[in-house]
Amino acid sequence: MASEKTKKIWMTIGIGFGIIFITAFLTSQIIFPIISHTPKNIEVPNVVGLSLPMAKLRLTQLGLHIVVRDSVWSETGQPNTILDQDPQPGKKIKPESTVYVKVNRGPMKVGVPYLIGMSFNDAYYALKSSGLQGVIVDSLYSDNYPVNTVVRSSPPEGTKVEKGARVRLYISKGPKPFIEETVIWDSLLM
């Protein structure tokens, strides 16, 4: 009989612990969140590829903040678009959390170097070392610059252009040939 009494005691204790466990679980998962109004975690959306303003709008609508952690020069993609984000899409985070992004600055810009007075070869290599291409557009007479030197460039020095852009070079033919009038008159009279 003692063993039946012991079984009943253990069963009562087990049921008591079960009731306590179920009550604690329901309180923590249902009742406590209702009372404390704890907001649920938010799933981070994918903002990679979106423009910065669109990414900001999408995140703020969900109650999240956005901070540009880095911006890099990139030949691919549109300027001012998101290249990477942290936390990654799909991760659950608390409301008012921050999503850090890396933004595409677009193709790298370089300044056109000073080329006036350089030989064509020197100007060509100066452009090449700057990541630009030199193209002879025209040659013209110049009293100020010797033959085969750069008279002007387009765009002019200091202008910021995309890396790999073409710079038009105008090369000197030297001074304009002088034809004496007497030679012309003599040839006309003959």
Please state the domain extents for the chain.
42-107, 110-172
Q: Looking at the domain that runs over 42-107, which CATH code has it been given?
A: 3.30.10.20
Fold agreement between 42-107 and 110-172: yes
Between residues 158 and 36, the one the model is more confident about: 158
pTM: 0.52
Copy the structure tokens of residue 144: 């100020």
Residues 43-75 as b/e (b if ≥16 CB within 10 A, e otherwise) read ebbebbebbbeebbebbeeeebebeeeebeebe
Selected from 3.30.10.20, 1.10.1060.10, 3.40.50.150, 3.30.300.30, the CATH number assigned to the domain covering 110-172 reads: 3.30.10.20
Query: pLDDT tens, 129-186?
Result: 888 988 888 889 988 999 999 999 999 999 999 888 999 999 999 888 877 655 555 5
Using the structure block, give the residue that is written with the tokens 């020069």.
73
Q: Find, among 88, 101, 100, 90, the residue nearest to 41 by Cα.
A: 90
